[in-house]
Amino acid sequence: MRRVVYGSRMARIRNRVTPTLVPGATANTPGPVEVLVATQGWVILHQVSATFGGTFGSETATVTVTATFSDGQTTVWTIAAAASGTSGNSSNDLASLMRDNTHIAQLSFTLQSSIAGSQVTATARVVATEV
């Protein structure tokens, strides 16, 4: 882990990967997977991506990313795929996370499929600086 000093605080570069997300029998992940929780202060996101694998039928798999802010508000965006591979966030997604007088406190992920009984899996990767 690389450390960078911001003022009097030590910042840590984080590169986190979720456990494998698997959709449940009702086409939804059994529950959200928390991948990043701010332990010092706040989080500055650099990249969020999802790598899809498993067997795709005629379906769309969607990873839902939920950012929870220090004031309790949330922002949600999705990363979707119809085949195996890696997809990432857009600059608009990251821009939606820039708010005055608040910061990201937590990120969580769920995987959904457009069909029940899906064989698709996904992992999410987050690169961020924790300040």
* Average pLDDT rounded to a whole number, residues 60-75: 88
How far is 63 from 87, CA to CA, in rounded Å? 10
User: In this model, does residue 4 exceed pLDDT 80?
Assistant: no
Residue 33 counted as domain residue: yes
CATH of the domain at 106: 2.60.290
What range does the domain containing 24 cover?
Answer: 18-38+47-124
Q: How confident is the model at residue 81 (pLDDT cuts 50, 70, 90)?
A: very high
Let me know: does 87 contact 49? Beta carbons within 8 Å. Answer: yes
Residue 54 counted as domain residue: yes
Q: Which of 69, 71, 63 is nearest to 97 (CA)?
A: 69
Query: Which segment of 39-48, 57-66, 67-76 scores lowest on mean pLDDT?
Result: 39-48
Into how many domains does the chain fold? 1
Q: Which of 94, 95, 105 is nearest to 131 (CA)?
A: 105
Residue 4 counted as domain residue: no
Q: Which residue has the tokens 């959200």?
A: 32
Kindly report the pTM of this predicted structure: 0.78
Summarize pLDDT for 89-98 with one digit per residue, the tens: 877 777 777 7
* Average pLDDT rounded to a whole number, residues 4-31: 60
* Average pLDDT rounded to a whole number, residues 73-79: 89
* Average pLDDT rounded to a whole number, residues 30-55: 76
* Average pLDDT rounded to a whole number, residues 110-131: 84
Residue 60 counted as domain residue: yes
DSSP annotation string for 53-85: EEE--S--EEEEEEEEETTS-EEEEEEEESSSE
User: In this model, does residue 2 exceed pLDDT 50?
Assistant: no
Q: Give Dmax over CA atoms of the chain in angstroms.
A: 53
